[in-house]
Amino acid sequence: MNYVIDRRLNGKQKSLVNRQRFLERYRKQIKQSVEKAVGDRSITDINKGEKISIPRKDTDEPVFRHGKGGFQEQVLPGNKEFISGDRFKRPEGGAGQGSGPGQASNSGEGMDDFVFEISQSEFLDFMFEDLELPNLVKRHLMGDVEYKTHRAGVADVGNPGQINIVRSMRSASARRMALGGKDRRRLRALEAELQQLMLAPVPDSERQQQLEDEIQHLKGRLKRIPWLDDFDIKYNLHVKQPVPRSQAVMFCLMDVSGSMTQGIKDIAKRFFILLYLFLQRNYEHTDVVFIRHHTSAKEVDEQEFFYSRETGGTIVSSALKLMQEIVDKRYPPAQWNIYGAQASDGDNWNDDSSNCSRILANGLLEKVQHFSYIEITEQDHQSLWHEYQQIQGQFNDVFSMQNIRTAADIYPVFRELFQRKLGQENMGAAS
Amino acid sequence: MKNSNYISTSSEWTFELIERYDQEIGKIAKEFQLDTYPNQIEIISSEQMMDAYASAGMPLGYHHWSYGKQFINVEQSYRRGQMGLAYEIVINSNPCIAYLMEENSMTMQALVIAHASYGHNSFFKGNYMFRSWTDADSIIDYLLFSKNYIAECEQRYGVSQVEELLDSCHALMNYGVDRYRRPYPISAAEEANRQKEREALLQQQVNELWRTIPESEKNSNYQEEPLFPSEPQENLLYFIEKNAPLLEPWQREIVRIVRKTAQYFYPQRQTQVMNEGWATYWHYTLLNTLYDRGLVNDGFMLEFLQSHSGVIMQPGFDTPYYNGINPYALGFAMMSDIRRISESPTDEDRHWFPELAGKDWLENLHAAMRDFKDESFILQYLSPKLMRDFKLFSLVDDDKDSELEISAIHDESGYQSLREAMGNQYNLQNREPNIQVYNANIRGDRSLTLHHIRHERKPLDESADEVLKHVHRLWGFPVKLISVEPQNDSVCPIPLQEFHCPKLELAQ
């Protein structure tokens, strides 16, 4: 008997496990490729999959093979002009025509790389591997609380749809046992007595009748015990519990004064995007606040943040002040995980740098989970950098700073900022 | 109108149509005496086809990274359009499972049914290699057993441990085959029960073998020391499974699983030309018969012929498309040739094939399918006409000669040697180095010595170094591989190449 079966609805990802095993095995090479890719990528497609290539030699599974040499005879199709006894020079390089394409095609391909693509999420996994958000994650209830129903044992009240049959039957059976126990015991005794009476040589019919009546009576009583009573019925109890949602807000602070060229902004943007992707992976909900500043700071949308042109002097503290205001107004630190990232070319009004460090040290840094400052410059550092260096000494668990020179530095710097720190717990305990 | 006879006229397939075609093709197949296992035709999507592809067509297999690599490879080249997926995969099991891709047109589905469900299927059931080496009834059960067993080992001993072991076993997979002995049939459901007994027994034997209690002083004289095994053994995995000193019982079971899997694929590697030729010949004949009976229309036939002629194309050695001899082309040509010789032989055919000429073609064809493997099939049936049609020639590359030589072409003086050379080409011995267990030093340092017996002076490739590492991992003690020329037992073999693992530190 023949069968035709439709298997299209069966799982199609049978090979998924094997694929993951493969990625796991070549983790090191893939990570290298990813790191290289992050450096090369343009801003818009940082969030895509990636082509990975691994030297084919590494992925080969070795087997015993014949090497070159010895006597090899091969039959080939498509003869045109050869006749028996024709002789000609052995071609160099092995893979040429006539020297045995059959052999060459088995072993001669070995030089190519093994190229394949990983998906976007795999790419991000590799990109953020071993990185960790500093400090503990605050989990808090938001205004619009989400609930999740949990089972919470059984209850005596509920709606019929939630009857717990097993528990109901168990309690009914317990009740029946409890109510009928005394009668049943008496019944057994009477029945035993009756039995003896029947076997006795002299029948005592009066006593027998009496016993039978009583047995009848007891059986009737037992029968009247309800099989299932109202209060036997148990209901599954479900309780709603509010789910704590972890949420983060990320402040992007950028200098847009005249000295910031489009190239520098580009680098800053890539850094912000990396940070954003990273936060997104760690929090269910991530807000982003863009603050740009020259002499005064302003909260803007993304488009304006990255692309509008401004000129003028630079007062960095204005941005920090604005950030502090926004935090106070909209993002209570008790509920939000706050991250700040500031990008600048290091220019600042000379007197202002001390203001900046004061704002950070006296308040802002206590509220944030982490604040990173990146300076995008190839020149010497100016006063802002030096001021910040002092802060770093005091607040090295929440504040970090790095210098970026070229686009290729972005990813390494990012990794350095968020490298998983082994001594983290100790530091947390100490503070 | 004749029109009403057609089974279908559009290229869309439906389940009813597939069943209808299957019935009609089955009827004709019966007339041609094709004896098959029951068919199980499964419709799958292209993703599922890629899955099936990656696991060598096995419907269920244990997990291993190499299958992942295979899958990525297939997926990649499919996405880029470098490779079309095979239209079908067929599994040597009872019932015989054939996968049809949902993207195929009705014509292609019919072609695949004829090719896989009747062609390959009858070959699996009829050919002596498959009859004696594989067990179609229990293979699915065994695959399931092995998958579960290996998954259990992974849980118990860790994925990486199991993976390393499998890596090593895979490296020796081609040397896990009994070539001359029929393995006892794998019994399906009992496998799991027996495994436990086997485990205990095996370990006991090994313990016995490696007992360190001294027996007698005499044995210390090494010249008298007998070799172990007393005869060289070609089944390396079997030898390791039974004798490796340090393997745990579960590790031995995994070695056994890989060995059994290799054994299952062993006939397929040796009957490629015949198997594909047979299936191609029958899809061609069956579908043509459908047409002759007015069951399919011209459009169907044109689509079929276009695909068929693509399958049996043989590019010449000097074209860019050349990729060895196409087993479909050669097999199909030879199968058709047997019919031609039987039905309308020329004088030449009468001279070369007196036993075929003028006899019943169907009987001749079935006999050829039943009793041969590629090597002997070619030696027996490759006709001068085919050699001329394929314009075959033979090229000798001898490292003792500074030049290449055309040793034979498709002419009167060349037919015989050309046919032999062609047969040799399909001889497994010729393609894979002959490696045997020569000696395990059970009384000394427990080192293992393997011999490579050279075939036509061919040396071993350097990859042997890597493989030896895997042997070393399985054996647990030093392993040595020596490449020698074939010779008498009495003569001490001269090592031409030597491989060691671990590497010898001091060159002597």
Q: Where are the domains of chain A?
A: 12-59+113-127, 160-237, 247-430
Closest CB to B44: pick one of A7, A105, A116. A7
Instruction: Please give the Cα distance from B222 to B65 (Å, whole number).
Output: 44
Closest CB to A84: pick one of B43, B47, B406. B406
Give the minimum alpha-carbon distance from B409 to chain A in angstroms, rounded to a whole number. Answer: 6
Closest CB to B433: pick one of A64, A87, A99. A64
- The distance between the two most distant Cα atoms of chain A, rounded to a whole number of Å, is 129
Residue B65: CB atoms within 10 A of its CB come to 23
pLDDT tens string B288-316: 999 999 999 999 999 999 989 988 999 99
Q: Which residues from A are below 8 Å from B314, CB to CB? A: 77-78
Give the residue from B407, B392, B394 showing the smallest Cα distance to A84. Answer: B407
What average pLDDT does the segment A339-368 reach?
84
Instruction: Please give the Cα distance from B281 to B274 (Å, whole number).
Output: 10
pLDDT tens string A395-410: 877 888 888 888 778 8
Closest CB to A6: pick one of B43, B399, B461. B43
Instruction: Please give the Cα distance from A289 to A293 (Å, whole number).
Output: 13
- B325: contact with A, CB 8 A cutoff: yes
Rounded to 5 degrees, φ, ψ at A139 are -115, 125
Q: Which residues from A are below 8 Å from B388, CB to CB? A: none
Contacts of A171 (CB under 8 A, 6+ apart): A232, A234
Give the minimum alpha-carbon distance from A42 to chain B in angstroms, rounded to a whole number. Answer: 24
Instruction: Please give the Cα distance from A237 to A154 (Å, whole number).
Output: 5
- B416: contact with A, CB 8 A cutoff: no
Q: How confident is the model at residue B220 (pLDDT cuts 50, 70, 90)?
A: very low
Q: How confident is the model at residue B394 (pLDDT cuts 50, 70, 90)?
A: very high
Q: Which residues from B are below 8 Å from A25, CB to CB? A: 65, 163
As assigned by CATH, the class of the A247-430 domain is alpha beta
Most confident of A221-235, B202-216, B273-287: B273-287
CA distances in angstroms from A10 to A13, A55, A290, A396, B43, listed in the order given: 9, 35, 47, 54, 10
Polymer length of chain B: 508
Closest CB to A12: pick one of B15, B51, B459. B51
pLDDT tens string B244-279: 988 999 999 999 999 988 888 888 888 999 999 999
Nearest CA in chain B to A4: B41
Q: Is A360 in contact with A387 (CB distance < 8 Å)? A: no
pLDDT tens string A47-61: 667 777 777 777 888
Instruction: Please give the Cα distance from B434 to B415 (Å, whole number).
Output: 28
Q: How confident is the model at residue A426 (pLDDT cuts 50, 70, 90)?
A: very low
pLDDT of residue B474: 92
Give the count of alpha carbons within 13 A of B34, CB side only. Answer: 29
Examine the predicted complex and report whether its ipTM is higher than 0.85.
Answer: no
Give the minimum alpha-carbon distance from A130 to chain B in angstroms, rounded to a whole number. Answer: 21
pLDDT of residue B40: 92
Are the beta carbons of B463 and A89 separated by less than 8 Å? no
What average pLDDT does the segment B124-139 reach?
88
pLDDT tens string A130-154: 776 665 555 554 555 667 888 888 8
Q: Residue A77 pLDDT > 80, yes or no? A: yes
Q: Residue A184 pLDDT > 60, yes or no? A: yes
Q: How confident is the model at residue A172 (pLDDT cuts 50, 70, 90)?
A: very high
Q: Which residues from B are below 8 Å from A116, CB to CB? A: 72-73, 75-76
pLDDT of residue A14: 74
More confidently predicted of B8 and A36: B8
More confidently predicted of A124 and A211: A211
pLDDT of residue B165: 93
Does residue B178 sit in helix, strand or coil? coil
Are the beta carbons of B317 and A117 separated by less than 8 Å? no
Instruction: Please give the Cα distance from B119 to B113 (Å, whole number).
Output: 9
Nearest CA in chain A to B73: A116
Residue with tokens 């497609």: A45
- B226: contact with A, CB 8 A cutoff: no
Give the residue from B311, B315, B239 showing the smallest Cα distance to B276. Answer: B311
Task: For an interface test with B, give the residue of A63, A68, A83, A106 to mutate (most B CBs within 10 A).
Answer: A63
Residue B347: CB atoms within 10 A of its CB come to 8
pLDDT tens string B16-50: 999 999 999 999 999 999 999 999 999 988 888 88
Closest CB to A67: pick one of B64, B392, B462. B462
What average pLDDT does the segment A348-353 reach?
80
Q: Residue B119 pLDDT > 70, yes or no? A: yes
Q: Which residues from B are below 8 Å from A3, CB to CB? A: 38-41, 95
Q: Which residues from B are below 8 Å from A33, CB to CB? A: none
Q: Which residues from A are below 8 Å from B398, CB to CB? A: 70-72
Sheet containing B96-101: order of strands: A3-6, B39-44, B96-101, B88-91
More confidently predicted of A308 and B122: B122
Are the beta carbons of A100 and B26 separated by less than 8 Å? no
- B433: contact with A, CB 8 A cutoff: yes
**pTM of the predicted structure, to 2 decimals:** 0.72
pLDDT of residue B388: 94
Q: How far apart are the first and last CA of chain B?
A: 90
pLDDT of residue B333: 95
Task: For an interface test with A, give the residue of B27, B62, B65 to mutate (most A CBs within 10 A).
Answer: B65
A221's tokens: 């009583």
HEC secondary structure over chain A: CCEEEECCCCCCCCCHHHHHHHHHHCHHHHHHHHHHHHHHCCCCCCCCCEEEEEEHHHHCCCCCCECCCCEEEEEECCCCCCCCCCEEECCCCCCCCCCCHHHHHHHHHHHCEEEEEECHHHHHHHHCCCECCCCCCCCECCCCCEEEEEEEEEECCCCHHHECHHHHHHHHHHHHHHHHHHHHHHHHHHHHHHHHHHHCCCCCHHHHHHHHHHHHHHHHHHHHCCCCCHHHCCEEEEEEEEECECEEEEEEEEECCCCCCHHHHHHHHHHHHHHHHHHHHHCCEEEEEEEEECCCEEEECHHHHHHCCCCCCCCHHHHHHHHHHHHHHHCCCCCCEEEEEEEECCCCCCCHHHHHHHHHHHHHHHHCCEEEEEEECCCCCCHHHHHHHHHHHHCCCCEEEEEECCHHHHHHHHHHHHECCCCHHHHHHHC
Q: Which residues from B are below 8 Å from A50, CB to CB? A: none
